[in-house]
Amino acid sequence: MKRLRIQWVVSLALSAVVTAGADDRPNIVFIFSDDHAPNAIGAYDGWLKSVNPTPEIDRLAAEGMTFLNSFCTNSICGPSRAVIQTGKHSHKNGFMNNGNSFDWNQQTFPKLLQKVGYQTAIYGKSHLKGTPQGYDDWAVLPGQGLYYNPDLIFPDGRRMIEGHCTDVVTDLAVDWLKNRRDSSKPFMLMVQHKAPHRNWMPAARHLELYDDIDIPEPPTLFDRYEDNAPPARHQELEIDRHMDLHYDLFVDLSPDFEGQGTQKRQDRSAFHNMKRMTPAQLKAWHDHYGPRNEEFHEAKLEGKDLVRWKFQRYAKNYLRCVRGVDESVATLRRTLAELDLSDNTVVIYSSDQGFYIGDHGWYDKRWMYEESLMMPLIVSWPGVTTPGSRNTELVQNLDYAGTFLEMAGAEIPGDMQGRSLVPLLKGETLKDWRDAIYYHYYEYPSVHMVPRHYGIRTGRYKLMHFYQFGDEWEFYDLEVDPDELTNQYDNPYYADEIAEVRKQLEALREFYEDDSDVSEKPREWQDKVRPETAGR
pLDDT tens, position by position, 260-269:
888 888 999 9
Q: Supply φ then ψ for residue 403, to 5 degrees.
A: -65, -50
Which pLDDT value is given to residue 299?
Answer: 98
Q: Which residues contact 142 (CB under 8 A, 6 or more apart)?
A: 151, 152, 153, 158
Consecutive H or E run containing 282: helix 279-299
Which pLDDT value is given to residue 263?
Answer: 82
22 lies in some domain: no
473: pLDDT strictly greater than 60: yes
CATH number at 43 reads: 3.40.720.10
5: pLDDT strictly greater than 60: no
pLDDT band with cut points at 50, 70 and 90 for residue 523: low
User: 454, 465 in Cβ contact below 8 A?
Assistant: yes
What are the beta bridge partners of residue 119? 187
Q: DSSP per residue over 85-134, as a string?
A: HHTS-HHHHS--STTS---TTS--HHHHHHHTT-EEEEEEE--S-S---S
Give the span between the Cα atoms of 100 and 443, in whole angstroms. Answer: 10
526: pLDDT strictly greater than 90: no
Give the span between the Cα atoms of 157 and 221, in whole angstroms. Answer: 45
Q: How far does CA 187 lie from the centroid of its chain? A: 23
528: pLDDT strictly greater than 70: no
* Structural domain count of the chain: 3
17 lies in some domain: no
Which pLDDT value is given to residue 328?
Answer: 98
What are the beta bridge partners of residue 123? 139, 191
| Residues 125, 168 share a domain | yes
Give the span between the Cα atoms of 120 and 134, in whole angstroms. Answer: 7
159: pLDDT strictly greater than 90: yes
| Residues 290, 347 share a domain | no
Helix pair angle (303-338, 55-63), 10° resolution: 50
User: 142, 158 in Cβ contact below 8 A?
Assistant: yes
Q: Which residue has the higher pLDDT, 1 or 469?
A: 469
Helix pair angle (303-338, 165-175), 10° resolution: 10
Q: What is the average per-residue pLDDT within 108-118?
A: 98
Among residues 425, 449, 477, which one ends one of the domains? 425
Give the span between the Cα atoms of 88 and 289, in whole angstroms. Answer: 44
| Residues 505, 414 share a domain | no
Which pLDDT value is given to residue 7?
Answer: 40
Helix boundaries (H) for 121-206? 165-175
pLDDT band with cut points at 50, 70 and 90 for residue 8: very low
Q: What is the average per-residue pLDDT within 428-457?
A: 95
421 lies in some domain: yes
Q: What is the maximal distance between C-alpha atoms in the chain?
A: 88
Which pLDDT value is given to residue 527?
Answer: 52
Q: What is the average per-residue pLDDT within 319-334?
A: 98
SS3 515: coil
| Residues 353, 308 share a domain | no
**CB burial class (10 A; 0-12, 13-18, 19+) of residue 111?**
middle
Give the span between the Cα atoms of 238 and 181, in whole angstroms. Answer: 45
20 lies in some domain: no
Among residues 261, 279, 313, which one ends one of the domains? 313
Q: What is the average per-residue pLDDT within 48-64?
A: 98
| Residues 481, 414 share a domain | no
Which pLDDT value is given to residue 12?
Answer: 40
What domain range is 481 assigned to? 439-533
pLDDT band with cut points at 50, 70 and 90 for residue 518: confident
Among residues 372, 399, 425, which one ends one of the domains? 425
Q: Is 252 left (phi over 0), alpha (psi -120 to 50) or beta?
A: left
- pLDDT per residue over 271-325, tens digit each? 999 999 999 999 999 999 999 999 999 999 999 999 999 999 999 999 999 999 9
- Taking alpha carbons only, the member of 491, 501, 490 closest to residue 462 is 501
Q: What is the average per-residue pLDDT within 146-156?
A: 98
64: pLDDT strictly greater than 60: yes
- DSSP 8-state secondary structure symbol assigned to residue 18: H
Q: Specify the range with the lowest mean pLDDT, choosing from 221-230, 279-288, 527-536.
A: 527-536
Q: DSSP per residue over 368-406, as a string?
A: SSHHHHB--EEEE-TTTSPTTEEE-S-EEGGGHHHHHHH
Give the span between the Cα atoms of 24 and 37, in whole angstroms. Answer: 34
391: pLDDT strictly greater than 70: yes
| Residues 224, 131 share a domain | no
Which pLDDT value is given to residue 464?
Answer: 98
| Residues 466, 418 share a domain | no
Which pLDDT value is given to residue 262?
Answer: 85
Which pLDDT value is given to residue 522?
Answer: 53
74: pLDDT strictly greater than 60: yes
14 lies in some domain: no
| Residues 142, 37 share a domain | yes
| Residues 175, 324 share a domain | yes
- DSSP 8-state secondary structure symbol assigned to residue 493: G
Q: What is the average per-residue pLDDT within 227-250?
A: 95
User: 147, 141 in Cβ contact below 8 A?
Assistant: no
| Residues 334, 232 share a domain | no
433 lies in some domain: no
Give the span between the Cα atoms of 430 and 448, in whole angstroms. Answer: 40
Task: Name the residue type at position 203.
Answer: A
pLDDT band with cut points at 50, 70 and 90 for residue 520: low
309 lies in some domain: yes
Give the span between the Cα atoms of 431 and 478, in whole angstroms. Answer: 23
| Residues 209, 162 share a domain | no
- Taking alpha carbons only, the member of 11, 13, 26, 22 closest to residue 117 is 22
Which pLDDT value is given to residue 155?
Answer: 97
Which pLDDT value is given to residue 101?
Answer: 93
- pLDDT cut 70: percent of the chain above it: 92
| Residues 184, 43 share a domain | yes
- pLDDT per residue over 495-506, tens digit each? 999 999 999 999
Q: Which residues contact 59 (CB under 8 A, 6 or more apart)?
A: none
Mean pLDDT rounded to a whole number for the chain: 93
CATH number at 521 reads: 3.30.1120
358 lies in some domain: yes
344: pLDDT strictly greater than 50: yes
